[in-house]
Amino acid sequence: MNQDLFKEIYNEVYEMWEIENQDPENPYRKRTWIFPNHIDLVIDWTKKLSAKYNANEEICAYAALFHDIGLVYKRAKNTSPEGHEERSLEYTKDLLVKHNFQEYKINKILDCIKATEPGHEPQTVEEKIVSTSDFVSQFKSIHYFAKAVFADDINYFVKWFKKRIEVSFDKKIYFEDLREELLPIKKHYAEIIRLYEENK
């Protein structure tokens, strides 16, 4: 992978995200939060898993960088994030064409971004890595705790969190050894939710 080109494109994507004073009500969309707490983590996980499972690191890393850009690209202020995957695909294709990426590479990166969509079943090892990395980057970081702080309704958050633990854990991690490694965290989260529901 050409690291200089990746850094150049990384900086372009970084600039797309909001700065501190643009939308004080929506901290999730700020570059100073989303990169260290999600996007950089997804990129790191794709690199680890690509090395472990002999996958194309370049394809996975670019998909990780672009997969959530639709949260800000062409999104009206204070609207639902719904549909952000399609906006991510549009932005990604345009930017990669601008940087003269080969068509087959662009298509593979787009397929990996699609793999992060709800209900989409990854086919290639790269698609499985990107989908898994997106989930694990949240699961094994402060992401869920930050989401709880951002939430307007704690009961809605707990319901969402419970679904992530009970359903998404099995559906979004495509490597059995990694699922086994993370099982103790899943059990710990499940106990946190049980205690909340018991005592609320």
The pLDDT of residue 113 is 94
pLDDT value, residue 22: 60
Q: Is residue 197 pLDDT above 60, yes or no? A: yes
Q: Which two tokens stand for residue 85?
A: 């995957």
Note the pLDDT tens digit of each residue in 14-53. 998 877 556 656 667 788 889 999 999 999 999 999 999 9
Q: What is the mean pLDDT of the chain?
A: 90
Cβ burial of 54 (10 Å; 0-12, 13-18, 19+) is: exposed
Q: Tell me if 129 sits within 8 A of 53, measured CB to CB.
A: yes
118-139: pLDDT as tens digits: 888 999 999 999 999 999 999 9
Dmax over CA atoms of the chain, in Å, equals 57
Task: Say how many domains are in the chain.
Answer: 1
* C-alpha dihedral, 86 to 13 to 66 to 73, nearest 10°: -20
Q: Say what the pLDDT of residue 21 is.
A: 56
- The pLDDT of residue 1 is 86
Domain range spanning residue 189? 3-199
CATH number reported for the structural domain that contains residue 70 in this entry: 1.10.3210.10
Residue range 69-81: mean pLDDT, rounded: 69
pLDDT of 108 above 90: yes
**Cβ(165)–Cβ(182) below 8 Å:** no
The pLDDT score that the predictor gives to residue 77 is: 61
Is it the case that residue 192 has pLDDT exceeding 70?
yes
The model carries a pTM of: 0.91
CA distance 8 to 42: 18
Res. 78: pLDDT tops 80: no
Complete DSSP assignment for 64-97: HHHTTGGGTTTPPTT---TTHHHHHHHHHHHHHH
- SS3 string of 44-59? HHHHHHHHHCCCCHHH
